[in-house]
Amino acid sequence: MQLLEACPEAMILIAEGKPVAWNSMASRVLDWSSSEAGVDRIWDAQCGLWELQGDEEGLFESKYERVLQGRAAKMRCLIRRNTGTVFEGEWKAVPAGDGKVLMQIRDISERMMYEQVIRESEQRFRTLARHAMEGIAFLEGTEIVDANEQFAILFGWKELPIGEDILNMVNARDWQRLGARKFARSRVELQGVTQQGAQIHLEATRSSDTTTNQTVLMVYDI
């Protein structure tokens, strides 16, 4: 029990499908008392702990099969507190020896909300980018995975250069200098080449989108 209490997450020790020990964080998250669990059998999809929706019940059963095979399993789903309220949760179960299973439960409601805000923010940014006066491209490595119309125009493309290698469009040394800039929004003069082979001179900034691990390249005509 001391080992469970040392864990910062809600932890439940399960034996023969029943919760036999849990820490104070589990009591707090699930509204269980220190001596009485809110459910009798953890792996019963209808036990009252899980609020499974749609095809989640089938997924839950497959995760349970993994646990029976002595393998780790985890799943996101709605979890019901003893008071009847539910929260967005994630559980992970791992073998603990002697047929027992150790389950960790995390309340990820805030993280889910944050991820949704990030997705909406990214979508708004991409929508604005399509109408921006600057040329904007999103890259994975050096491959262009998205771009706006102005970017295509600056490089003389009639269509968006999706799938193109940026190093075929800009000077490699300038690209390295741009990436080495200490401040992401610092502009660097960039020598490029149009689809027709003409040399062009631009200013550019390069930054990273931490939500997608993509590089955002903005180019300006000079």
Domains of the chain and CATH, by start: 2-109 (3.30.450.20), 132-221 (3.30.450.20)
Give the other-Cβ count within 10 Å of 93's Cβ.
23
Residue count of the chain: 222
CA proximity to 160, closest of 178, 179, 139:
139
Which pTM was predicted?
0.53
Give 5-34 pLDDT, tens digit per residue.
Answer: 777 889 999 999 999 999 999 999 999 998
Residue type, 159: E
Give 134-172 pLDDT, tens digit per residue.
Answer: 899 999 999 999 888 899 999 999 999 999 999 999 999
Tell me which residue has tokens 């994975």: 140
